[in-house]
Amino acid sequence: MKTLTTKSQDIMGPPMDDFVGRALVAGLGLALVAGPLGCFVVWRRMAYFGATLAHAALLGIALGFLFDVSPTLGIIFVCTAVSFALVGFQRQKKLSDDTVLGILAHGALAAGLIVISFMEQLRVDLLGYLFGDILAVTTIDIVWIYGCGAVSLVVLALIWRPLLSMTVNEDMARVEGVPITRVRLVFMLLIAVVIAVAMKIVGILLIVSVLIIPSAAARRLSASPEQMAVFAAMIGCVAVAGGMASSMTWDTPAGPSIVTVAALVFFMVMFLPARTVRRSGR
């Protein structure tokens, strides 16, 4: 963990407020998208799918460097390819989903590590990609986060009802006319986009937590799916603010601090007396 803090101190050149402010703005942007999308990840039990895309993201970064395009585009490309591969395997029904996901996740991660190892002239900060480096966020990163985030939220709002319907029961939804495959692919693409923009902030190993912890914490407080989505976004923002404050005050690594605060909020909500929860929830 030491590397992360020293790295952030390396770029202490600009006034402190600047990079702290950027980090905060970036983190809040991510939390606002990750909350609603994360709810579907929880409802649809797709946490392992999220983790798979996160692992595959490293290959995306490597390809981005290789072909000299934005790593974000590289990640979106690889994550989309992995999503299609998963849908293809699901159709065959030869292997269980978690086995397929395990193969895709670690196959892509290993391939990513090999590609990166060939680029010796490039100093790739592996630790930064594994755990994120929110304090190194640039203005361009923020534009990416808010641009992709806004588009993702609009698309999610558009597919909200069919996606919710097929989350409850896919067969009923299909008989009622929901284009299942199309909606599922759009949803997978949204997760790919969010993972691409979350890379820099929390890194491969912690991305899934940004999707699922605020949503899980929001569950006990919510009486409707939409309320849960809003609460998840809010809890995510609290976690970002709390994590950043902890990072500034005690010099803890920022990404892991955000996740830790989110986990603390989750446990606090879990131990709230049932009566309090019910009053606020219904």
Partner 1 sequence: MPDTHLTTEPDSQALISAENLTVRFGGLPAIKNVNVSIGAGEIVTLIGPNGAGKSTLVRALLGLIVPTDGTITRRPNVRIGYVPQHVSVDDTLPLTVERFLRLGGRASQDQLEKSLAEVGALDVITSQFQKISGGERRRVLLARALLRNPDLLVLDEPTSGVDVTGQADIYKLIGSIRKAHNCGVLLVSHDLHLVMAETDQVLCLNGHVCCSGHPSHVSQDPAYLELFGHESAQGLAVYTHHHDHTQDHDHENADHEEPGYHGAPHG
Residues forming contacts to partner 1 in the complex (CB under 8 A) are: 42-45, 161, 164-165, 167-169, 171-176, 215-216, 219, 222-225, 227-228, 281
Q: Which two tokens stand for residue 65?
A: 């460097």
Least separation in angstroms between residue 175's CB and partner 1 is 4
Contact at 8 Å (CB) between 187 and 159?
yes
How many other CB atoms are found less than 10 A from the CB of residue 149? 21
Helix (H) or strand (E) segment spanning residue 115: helix 97-117
Q: Give the nearer residue to partner 1 in terms of CB position, either 110 or 172.
A: 172
Give φ, ψ of 14 to 5 degrees: -65, 160
Least separation in angstroms between residue 275's CB and partner 1 is 17
**Residues 189, 75: Cα–Cα separation, whole Å:** 11
Least separation in angstroms between residue 271's CB and partner 1 is 18
Q: Give the nearer residue to partner 1 in terms of CB position, either 97 or 142.
A: 97
**Residues 224, 209: Cα–Cα separation, whole Å:** 22
Q: Give the nearer residue to partner 1 in terms of CB position, either 12 or 157.
A: 157
Least separation in angstroms between residue 191's CB and partner 1 is 17
Q: Give the nearer residue to partner 1 in terms of CB position, either 87 or 110.
A: 87
How far from chain centre, in Å, is Cα 206? 8
Q: Integer distance in angstroms from the first to the last C-alpha of the chain?
A: 42
The upper half-sphere exposure of residue 75, i.e. CA atoms within 13 Å in the direction of its Cβ, equals 27
Contact at 8 Å (CB) between 143 and 25?
no
Contact at 8 Å (CB) between 3 and 255?
no
**Residues 49, 53: Cα–Cα separation, whole Å:** 6
Q: Give the nearer residue to partner 1 in terms of CB position, either 148 or 212.
A: 212
Q: Give the nearer residue to partner 1 in terms of CB position, either 114 or 172.
A: 172
Q: Give the nearer residue to partner 1 in terms of CB position, either 20 or 166.
A: 166
